[in-house]
Amino acid sequence: MEIKIVRHVIVSAVFLIWAVPCFATKHFFWQVSSPVTTVYLLGSIHMAKPEFYPLDPVIEKSFADADYLVLEVRMDPMSMYTMGKGIRDQGMYSGSQTVFDHIDKQTADMFRNYLKHKNLPLSLFSKYKPGMIMMQLAALEIQKMGFSPQHGIDMYFMRKANGMKRPVLGLETAQQQIAFLAELPGDSALLRYSILSLKDLPQKMGEIVQAWKTGDTKAMHALFTDTVAEYKKLKPVMKILIDDRNVKMAEKIGAYLKSDKVYFIVVGAGHLTGPLGLPSLLKKAGFTVLQK
């Protein structure tokens, strides 16, 4: 059960962001152009509902015009197998170790009390590293709200691509995504903040939804940076999960922009905001970037 939950969430993305469809003037969607081709960037709705579809026509048409679909990580059977194996090998402690061997007493007590309050068995989580626990607990709360990774935009376009026999690529590998979560620094700080943030999750997600619906990148970025400001020890975590990955993703997208093919890329919305977001990095690299 626990591996299935983590696999769904990590495949979707590191940060859990969703929204409802709308017909705003702008969307969380960009067209990036070079002299030879075009790449589309869509902020990902990772956990959603069936009634979210179809998406706005400008998004659907852009996908129809593309030669390739690009996800953060491919969601084919081999990637799923690699993901599950990676979770066992890298995301869990070996031998008799548990998370309690790596966190302080205050965090351990908070963790036990949270699980008790939610009627969740300690044995289901104790062998996982804090980054994995963070994703599992958030996934459980989000699914209680009626959202599902099976209806996320990643899976939506994956199914469409499969039906059209369109090639699907990945900006990252399953091994890389597992490693990001398994090696996050600050075990106690990470787990403590994860637990504290869950109580505000519905309200926070409401604000994220509104920013996504209106294509408001400043509001979205503020939500991420304000969240980190509440727990300054997590800034290194954000650097690993967002900033450093963005640099490598931008390099790969830059290579796509030198080809003669059209790429439709779906990434977490957190990767598309701020001075180190993908649109900003690609603009600095000399490409023409237009939010649609």
Which tens digits make up the pLDDT trace of 215-271?
999 999 888 777 665 566 778 888 899 999 999 999 999 999 999 999 999 999 999
| pLDDT at res. 10 | 40
Mean pLDDT of the chain: 87
Instruction: Choose among 33, 17, 28, 31: nearest CA to 56.
Output: 28
Q: Which pLDDT score is estimated for 279?
A: 98
pTM reported for the whole predicted model: 0.87
Mean pLDDT of 79-91: 86
pLDDT tens, position by position, 11-59: 333 333 333 343 446 899 999 999 999 999 999 878 888 887 888 999 9
Q: What is d(CA 181, CA 200) in angstroms, rounded to the nearest whole number? A: 22
Residue 123 CB-density burial (10 A; 0-12 exposed, 13-18 middle, 19+ buried): exposed
Burial track 232-253 (b if 16+ CB lie within 10 A, e otherwise)? eebeebbebbbbebbeebbeeb
At residue 223, the pLDDT reads 84
End-to-end Cα distance, the chain: 40
- The candidate with the shortest Cα–Cα distance to 134, out of 197, 209, 220, is 197
